[in-house]
Amino acid sequence: MGPVTAVSATVGSTATEDLSLRANSLMPGGVSSPVRSFAKVGLPPFYASRGEGPRIFDRDGRSFIDYILSWGPLALGHAHPGVVDAVTKAAREGLSFGTCTEREVDLAAVITGALPSVELVRFVSSGTEAVMSAVRVARAATGRDLIVKFDGGYHGHADAFLVSAGSGAATLALPDSPGVPAAATLTRVAPFNDLESVEALFAREGDNIACVVVEPVMGNAGLIRPLEGFLAGLRDICTRRGAVLVFDEVMTGFRVAWGGAQVAFSVRPDLTALGKVIGGGMPVAAYGGRAELMELVAPAGPVYQAGTLSGNPLGMAAGLAQLTELAKPGVQEEMAGSAARLADGLAGAAQSAGVAACTASIGSMWGLFFTEGPVRNFGDAKRSQTEMFARFHRACFARGVLLAPSPFEAGFVSSVHTDTDIAETLEAASEALEEACAA
């Protein structure tokens, strides 16, 4: 693979300018999701034309090493032949049926076989649906109303979760959202990695807390690992107080390990939300858990949840193809090695440039904060120098490296990011840090 293609960090191209103008006249902010706006790093939205392996190409044909990877789903990189072939075959047989298909049964078998806590699983189309539905089950099972989440944790855009959300909300200075009704007052917030604060919430209102919802590894406030004993402590609190423990593994599922964070940290939640990787790039998500809880879901039980495109045959085909590849010996370990080399290299580059920064990785996820470590929660993360990140992002972009346009997002590697890709990225990052410091 050749050297990184140098590109302009300004809106120099007619195609990008024209698309931005058209989009802004047709869609709010010109985007279909707030995280796709690059405004906070001083760039126009990125208009992708195609992807191939670890690289993504924009509307003007410029090539970038991609660490967004569709915000996590593309664990095998762009347009993996096995995934593309599986989806193509499925499409020829029919795009949607509104009935059951064999592929959803097969994918359910893979998921329940990989996640020790999941005995039954229900497919949906988005991570928001998955977490929202898991909470509904938890409330039905306990007869309680309150939920506990963690500051900076993002669990989709359902009303109950848009309280102290991270990622896009923090990047756009929108910690909460207008239009969210009083239902959000049923949400309680604690700092991540702080068991004492969770104990205090249960001491005050434990008889009405239905569940604790947590990203076992935070990825929407930047990458923040759980401290030793934190997840096990949540498990203990929920067990003692009769609450349901919900792991939001939409991002971490099959990324931090085969079977997700619950395997990596040996902690079994009661319910799990999945997404991203299990769909191979298609809009697929799921929630699952202990049989006694999942049997509350209609038609087995009284908790209603439905979706016209749930279990869509194209999504099931893509998910099966991707998970089949990820299950092969050594694949997870190789991705973890790439993420670790990238994170360690970025830390070294920052140190050489005299820039305050800390990095972390777990599985195929990695993160970078422009602040002295450690970063243990969203409060620590918010100390990051956001202007430094914006300058660094633009300088990386100019050197053909595409990062998420937010200092509060995890990055990802794929199975097809090579040692050469990592080395080229670190070379570009070293130059970008020098440029960002000089600006």
Catalytic residue among 151, 248, 270, 380: 248
Alpha-carbon dihedral sign for residues 130, 210, 408, 252:
negative
Amino acid letter for position 33:
S
Q: What is the 3-state composition of the chain as percent helix, strand, coil, each rounded to the nearest 5?
A: 45, 15, 40
Active site residue 248: yes
User: Has 304 been annotated as catalytic?
Assistant: no
Q: Which of 58, 151, 276, 287 is catalytic?
A: 276
Q: Which residues of 255-282 are buried (b: 16+ CB within 10 A; e: fewer)?
A: bbbbbbbbbbbebbbbbbbbbbbbbbbb
Is 67 part of the annotated catalytic residue set? no
| Distance from C-alpha of 62 to C-alpha of 52, rounded to nearest angstrom | 13
Residue 105, classed as helix, strand or coil, is: helix
DSSP tag of 244: E
Contact 154/250 with Cβ under 8 angstroms? Answer: no
Assigned token pair, 312: 């869509």
- Could you give the CA distance from residue 405 to residue 392 in angstroms, rounded to a whole number? 10
Please tell me the distance from the alpha carbon of residue 370 to that of residue 352, in angstroms, as a whole number: 14
Helix (H) or strand (E) holding 362: strand 358-362
Catalytic residue among 58, 154, 382, 421: 154
Strand 401-402 relative to strand 244-249, pairing: unpaired
Work out the end-to-end distance of the chain between its first and last CA atoms, rounded to an integer number of angstroms. Answer: 31
Q: How far apart are CA 184 and CA 192, in angstroms?
A: 19
- Residues 131-158 as b/e (b if ≥16 CB within 10 A, e otherwise) read bbbbbbbbbbbbebebbbbbbbbbbbbb
- Closest by CA position to 409, among listed 438, 363, 367: 367
Distance of CA 120 to the CA centre of its chain: 23
Distance CA 211, CA 270 (A): 10
| Rounded distance between C-alpha atoms, residue 412 and residue 364, angstroms | 6
Could you list the active site residues?
154, 248, 276
